[in-house]
Each structure stands twice: as structure tokens, then as C-alpha cells.
Amino acid sequence: MRVIVLHGSPRRGGNSDTLAEYFVNGVRETDDVEILDFILNDMNIRPCQGCETCATSEGHKCAIDDDMNQIYSAFADADIVVWATPMYWGYMTAQMKTALDRMEALAMDVRKYWLDKEFVAILTYRHHYQSTIGFFERVQDYFRFKFTPLLYCSKNETGPEDFHVSSNKEKLEEAFALGQRIGIKIIA
Ligand SMILES: Cc1cc2nc3c(=O)[nH]c(=O)nc-3n(C[C@H](O)[C@H](O)[C@H](O)COP(=O)(O)O)c2cc1C
């Protein structure tokens, strides 16, 4: 089984990273798993230039030659795709949005890239997550897949520091159990 994790947070070991780790550990319980982690903040991924080369070229290749190629090649054979991102200014991080825009090149072949996969959106936030959930809902309707959200509110009402998810045993268990559930669904 192949799992792709797109890490959208610039904070290594932050809330979304930690939940992704517990999710993946849950999947590992169910099968031999190949995990491909993409730390978007460390990758050279240019923003989409809107040139439409992916729409018109043979094989629907993106015109930009950069680290996005690693994600393109991993995507077709993935069984599970995880988008893990905090909310930034009412949306996802710029790192995640940049990678998603570049997935336009994968939009051209729904059968190859989007059907028969499980998608998970791990969203961490302080106040709200609904606008990003709305985004993933629209994408899934277009590509005809179903995604599962995993949400974590890190807000600390009593001080300036967020609550890190590592102190929330229930949430970590929820992430692990979701990984197990989706892993079992895939091997069934
Ligand atoms: C620049 C910036 C913008 C943010 N904007 C929002 C926001 O619009 N809504 C929200 O609920 N939380 C917002 N947050 C809080 C983060 O989403 C929250 O701290 C999250 O748990 C961080 O996840 P991480 O540890 O995976 O990076 C923002 C944080 C930063 C640094």
C-alpha cells in the first residue's frame, strides 16, 4: 500500500505533522506500507503560471520542471493521499495551496489520479476550518472521490501558546484509528 503525505505546515513536528504521523502509524498496522512524505516547505515548487500547457500537451505534462515532479510521479500509484495543513488566514498554508494549484496537471486524468483512492484532509486551526473544508468538498465533487476530514483545534483560551496535539491523547487515538480504518478498507 502506498501513502502520500503532503505536509503543508512550515512547523516540523507541529500539530498537523503529528496527526499525520499517528494516522500513518494506524495505516501501518494493517499492511506493508510505503510512506512518501513531501515536506512542501522544503521543496522547490513554483506557483502555477496558468499557461495551460497541462491542458493542451500530450500526456498533460506541466511546463515547469521542479520538485513537483516528485509528487506527480508518486500520485498515480498512491492508495491514500493525505493533505495535512494548518489554517492560515482562513485558508490553508501558501505551501499547500501552491502544490494544489500545480495539481491542475493531474486534473486532466480523473481515472488515473483520483478514482479508487482514499483522501484525508488533516486540518489544524485555532478558530475555524470551514472554509478549507468547503474547498475540499468542492474538489471531491469535481473529481468524484470522497475525503475524510480530521480536525484539531489548538486554541488555548488561557494563554498565548497553542495546545500542542501531543498532549491530547484522544485526538492522537482518533488519528491512529482513522489510519487503521482506512487501511482496512483498502485491503478489503
Ligand atoms: C500566519 C498564521 C495564520 C493563521 N491563521 C489562522 C486562521 O485563519 N484561522 C485559524 O483558525 N487559525 C489560524 N492560525 C493558527 C494555526 O492554524 C494553528 O496554530 C495550527 O494549530 C498550527 O498547526 P501546525 O502546528 O500544524 O503548524 C494561523 C497561524 C499562523 C502562524
pLDDT more than 70, % of the chain = 100
Percent of residues, the chain, with pLDDT higher than 90: 86
Please choose from 126, 161, 164 the residue to mutate so as to test ligand 1's pocket, defined by most ligand atoms within 8 A of CB: 126
Mean predicted confidence (pLDDT) in 11-39: 98
User: To 10 degrees, the CA torsion angle through 92, 24, 41, 157?
Assistant: 50
pLDDT at 142: 87
Q: CA–CA separation, 170 vs 134, rounded Å?
A: 25
Q: pLDDT tens-digit profile of 85-141? A: 999 999 999 999 999 999 999 988 888 888 889 999 999 999 999 999 999 999 998
Q: What is the number of domains present in the chain? A: 1
Q: Is 151 helix (H, G, I), strand (E, B) or coil?
A: strand
Could you give the 3-state DSSP secondary structure of residue 111?
helix
Task: Provide the CATH number for the domain around residue 163.
Answer: 3.40.50.360
Most informative mutation of 39, 87, 154, 171 for ligand 1 (most atoms within 8 A of CB): 87
Of the CA atoms within 13 Å of residue 123, those in its CB half-sphere come to: 23
Query: Is the Cα dihedral 139, 143, 144, 145 positive or negative?
Result: negative
Q: Whose CA is nearest to atom 31 of ligand 1?
A: 88
pLDDT band at 182; cut points 50, 70, 90 = very high
- Using an 8 Å Cβ cutoff, are 10 and 41 in contact? yes
What per-residue confidence (pLDDT) applies to 24?
A: 98
Cell for 92? 490553508
pTM: 0.97
Residue 86: domain span:
2-187
Which pLDDT value is given to residue 165?
Answer: 98
What atom in ligand 1 is closest to the CA of residue 152? 21
Pocket of ligand 1 (CB under 6 A): 9, 11, 14-17, 86-90, 124-128, 154, 162
